[in-house]
Chain A
């Protein structure tokens, strides 16, 4: 009868639903990292000389850098020589031209994840650029987008087909030497997505990409570049899930969002990495650098997550918004946050961050709001809420504020709450199951963020969160 912490723990301890491994022969480089590995990756991908040079410069810069240790995380030193930096499904050599040609096992994998590519794409009008391990295997709706002048393809294809655009914008938002993981990514990134919206165009559909880590012990280094030309508009969602593995997998992504004058990029992330088992074995190491304009983020999974997307508000009157949900469970550790850098006059930014911790997980939020001397009348509002499930997890908030202009107005609010026994009892007394009650309360907690997601994605985000609640929360 009593709904004790132990019962809650039992719900929390259910195993990860998406843990399975697709058996496909992979073309994988042996573990290790040196200039030859980078040359090999570049050669496999038939890259132009300038890009190889760009990678090598990043690698040399990375060698001079130290891994950051200031996050509130407990990270064993990562052996970068024990990781393989390239893995592609074999069918890559003769690239599928349509979904029919895609390896059925890949499609099966997406099915298990509840991502029925063709149906979803057709019904929802969403073009999906599905990334499996490091290579893009299916791109849909590209033709329709091209009619509108929108380019949406894998990063490798963009390098081949639109080299001048890639060369012009690559590294302009997150430079090669921006931070340790950005430098590593710049050296070894394998694939990702590329989007270009021409001047004045409103992208006719939502764009979505799924990343998935499949081969064991493979680093996953996505690079995404979204360029929205003057006055254009695009909405983009990135979602991730990963199968169960015993060894930690490394994910170090870079996302660059380039928004020209009056352009708007609505960037959303839904992530559901394998969080490691109840002893903290396995799980994904996730290190992400993102920078650009408005975004929404939903994140669950990852043994260790270290993620700081940022917005630079350069133009006068420009606005930045950041919404995020992060779920941690078992021994997961997350250290996420955002940077809002105000440069232009009358710039405004909003940060809404929701952290959910269960099991023995630790969830830290760190936000930097920087008002430059030029940013007269800048305003920022930050709200950071943490929800704890059970009594063994923790939440931490670290707001950093640097204001160099006296006219700036900055507000920060933070709350920490537990799922109250009274809330649970109230729901149970109305006849809801324990699992439904937790899901209801957690979804309510996230509502402020979910309502910012594009309609099609709100449903996906909720589904992903619920999957992780089944396994992670109850």
Chain B
């Protein structure tokens, strides 16, 4: 699915990622945890092709393609989805319109016929039910005036519609109350199957109570300093990040 080797990346000439190695198998959920500033969001941005980040070394292979060679939009169409930590507002642009354009861009790329308005509507209504979203979301502008929770639900709604092969969730739990968190997690869990992989980036363990990960990695100082199972997340919850950082320094 995804193989990251020796990935180095910078923002404005400041190195952030300093040699990431990570492999995701199909159907697995990997969680990336780590203190603020450890490079979690940078990793998400590099995967999605955010032009802010410059890859200085290393390679990423995605479904047999050289990911770093692909444009941002082609990565998306090939099945890489990023749920944004801060979903962007686009005033005047209808939420459903953007989603339909996105879905059909992807279908065209993959040689599938475009969905007509009726097919699209029945598909999105089903997803909105799961996400407990009212139908006026369809008419509202993309994320404009949405509450934090509404924005995150909207991200997962888009993810359900676009059915990615790899979903990267960048701190999707931030700013959510416990009820919204459950809805969002349920939306993600419904998409879990043997083919689809997830990279769940989070600062807190609580999201992983609802989205149970297969693997947990700790990112600190731009490197993965520890990998383990779900138990590792619980341990981090109990002990904080400091011990890991010092352990990493010691080793």
Contact = CB atoms under 8 A, between A and B. Distances in A.
Interface of A: 1-4, 420-423, 425-434, 436, 440-441, 443-448
A429 B48 CA distance: 7
B92 A431 contact: no
Given A436-B105, A440-B93, A444-B141, A429 B82 contact: yes
Contact of B90 (A4, A444, A448): A444
A448 B102 CA distance: 23
Contacts of B87: 426
Given A429-B49, A430-B102, A445-B92, A1 B109 contact: no
B52 A421 contact: yes
A430 B76 contact: yes
Contacts of B105: 430-433, 436
Contacts of B106: 431
B51 A427 contact: no
Contact of B101 (A422, A432, A448): A432
Interface stretch (B21-29, B66-74, B180-188, B217-225): B66-74
Nearest to B89: A423
B12 to A, nearest CB: 13
B51 A440 contact: no
A288 to B, nearest CB: 27
Interface residues of B, number: 36
B68 A1 contact: yes
Interface string B79-123: 001101001101111000111011101100100000000000000
B162 interface: yes
A430 B98 CA distance: 9
Given A1-B71, A441-B93, A432 B102 contact: yes
B102 A421 contact: no
| 10 closest A-B pairs by CB | A444-B92, A444-B93, A447-B92, A430-B102, A431-B76, A426-B88, A2-B51, A428-B72, A431-B105, A431-B77
A381 to B, nearest CB: 18
A425 B84 CA distance: 11
B73 A433 contact: yes
B50 interface: yes
A385 to B, nearest CB: 10
Nearest to A2: B51
B158 interface: yes
Contacts of A443: 92-93
27 contacts: A1-B51, A1-B68, A1-B71, A3-B51, A4-B51, A421-B52, A425-B48, A425-B50, A426-B84, A426-B87, A426-B90, A427-B98, A428-B72, A428-B73, A429-B49, A429-B84, A430-B102, A430-B158, A431-B105, A431-B106, A431-B109, A432-B101, A440-B98, A441-B93, A444-B142, A445-B92, A446-B92
A430 B76 CA distance: 6
Nearest to B141: A444
Nearest to B92: A444
A148 to B, nearest CB: 36
A420 B143 CA distance: 15
Interface of B: 48-52, 54, 68, 70-73, 75-77, 81-82, 84, 87-88, 90-93, 97-99, 101-103, 105-106, 109, 141-142, 158, 162
Contacts of B72: 1, 3, 425, 428-429
B91 A421 contact: no
A345 B70 CA distance: 63
Contacts of A430: 76, 98-99, 101-102, 105, 158, 162
Contacts of A446: 92
A305 B84 CA distance: 41
Given A2-B51, A425-B50, A443-B92, 4 more contacts: A1-B72, A427-B98, A428-B49, A430-B99
B48 to A, nearest CB: 5
A445 B144 CA distance: 12
Nearest to A4: B51
A309 B87 CA distance: 40
Contacts of A422: 88
Contacts of A426: 84, 87-88, 90
Contacts of B92: 443-448
Residue in A3, A4, A420 with the greatest tally of chain B CB atoms within 10 Å:
A3
Contacts of A423: 88, 90
A39 B69 CA distance: 69
Given A429-B82, A431-B109, A440 B101 contact: yes
A436 B71 CA distance: 15
Contacts of B91: 444-445
B115 to A, nearest CB: 14
A431 B90 contact: no
Contacts of B101: 430, 432, 436, 440
B71 to A, nearest CB: 7
B194 to A, nearest CB: 24
Contact of A431 (B50, B73, B84, B142): B73
A136 to B, nearest CB: 37
Residue in A3, A421, A428 with the greatest tally of chain B CB atoms within 10 Å:
A428
A313 to B, nearest CB: 29
Contacts of A434: 73
A416 to B, nearest CB: 14
Nearest to B104: A431
Nearest to B108: A431
Nearest to B101: A432
Contacts of A4: 51
A440 B48 contact: no
A3 B50 CA distance: 9
